[in-house]
Amino acid sequence: MAILVTGGAGYIGSHMVWALVDSGHDVVVLDRLSTGFRSAVAPQAHFYLGDLSDRDLLRKIFASHAIDAIFHFAGSVIVSESIATPMDYYANNTVNSSILIEEAVQAGIGKLVFSSTAAVYGPPADDRPVRETDPLRPQSPYGQSKLMTELMLADTARAHPDFRFVALRYFNVAGCDAKGRTGQSTRGATHLIKAACETALGLRPCLQIFGDDYPTPDGTGIRDYIHVDDLVGAHLRALAYLDDGGPSLTANCGYGAGASVREVIAAVERVAGRRLPVTIEAPRPGDAASVIADPGLAQDKLGWMAENPGLDAIVRTSLDWERRCLSARETPLGMAARRLAGGL
């Protein structure tokens, strides 16, 4: 199929592009490169530099490539940033998604897989894994903007029977391509595992723990970490599901098990072979004590099963990627970090 990947130069999007290329699809990438990298895009893909708000560009892509399906990753994803600049998030995540959906329907494109988030749930009411039927109470403009896009997709599917979607609610995505072709390269990334791996290699002076008095066994927040390769696998299953005529679906993407911040740190220390310096900071606005997925619906409806569960597998590929990035740097900081990494 000819497939458009919005945000295909970003962290998850670039992994998706490589997987689609590996599967033999004709891949088109649209990315404005605000956080992504042109070098992360598989060379076999057609690349367009631009924004989803550009209707003329979308129409050009649809006409030039006879797009069969869309993977929609483009968007802003930092909770704290969304609280500080809410209108930026509503513009980029919600308004731009509405333009994409409208233009897709006009072009007769009937299959879309959407990158949603567990942030649509808000703080869980109890300790059990979160189900898709649980109340939707997003605590940030980021979560609100993603939920609004889910609602637009559902309304569009009801109004246009030929249009169907799968919205995948991500939990905490981490890890990197096992073949080393792409990874988490976002500047100043807030992802815990990336920050911990950078700290292990001396690229950060210390790792910050945001809150250590949550009502959890060790006082730090618990999250469900999913390897990016498994998340990409869920997207491939979602495409196959839609291609087989499956009705629109919203499903969680997680492992159904959580790890605390301190457990993540211990895993990075175990794999890297060194202790990490840490500092304790105040909890961040919008952070919940514990968020764990119930992945049963994705397993049942999409036939998706995780292949890389466990923190060590995630950490190992993340650390390998950071070391690979270090080896490509020739700055004094890069050379000093490589000397440190050589002792790990």
Q: Which residues are catalytic?
A: 142
Backbone angles phi, psi at 207, to 5 degrees: -105, 135
Residue type, 126: D
Phi, psi of 59 (to 5 degrees): -65, -35
- 208 close to 281: Cβ distance less than 8 angstroms: yes
Give every CB contact of residue 189 below 8 A, 6+ residues apart in sequence.
195
Task: Give the CA radius of gyration of the chain.
Answer: 20
User: Among 94, 100, 74, 60, which Cα is nearest to 5's?
Assistant: 74
Strand 278-281, strand 111-117: pairing: unpaired
Q: How far is CA 36 from CA 10, 14, 33, 308, in A?
A: 4, 9, 5, 25
Structure tokens at 137: 């109470």
**Closest to 23 measured CA to CA, from 243, 315, 298, 313:** 243
Residue 95 DSSP label: I
Residue tagged 């797009």 (tokens): 67
Pairing of strands 259-260, 222-223: antiparallel
CA-to-CA distance for 49 and 306, rounded, in angstroms? 33
The answer for residues whose C-beta is within 8 angstroms of residue 294's C-beta and 6 or more apart is 128, 129, 130, 131, 132, 252, 254, 256
Contact 193, 225 (CB under 8 A): yes
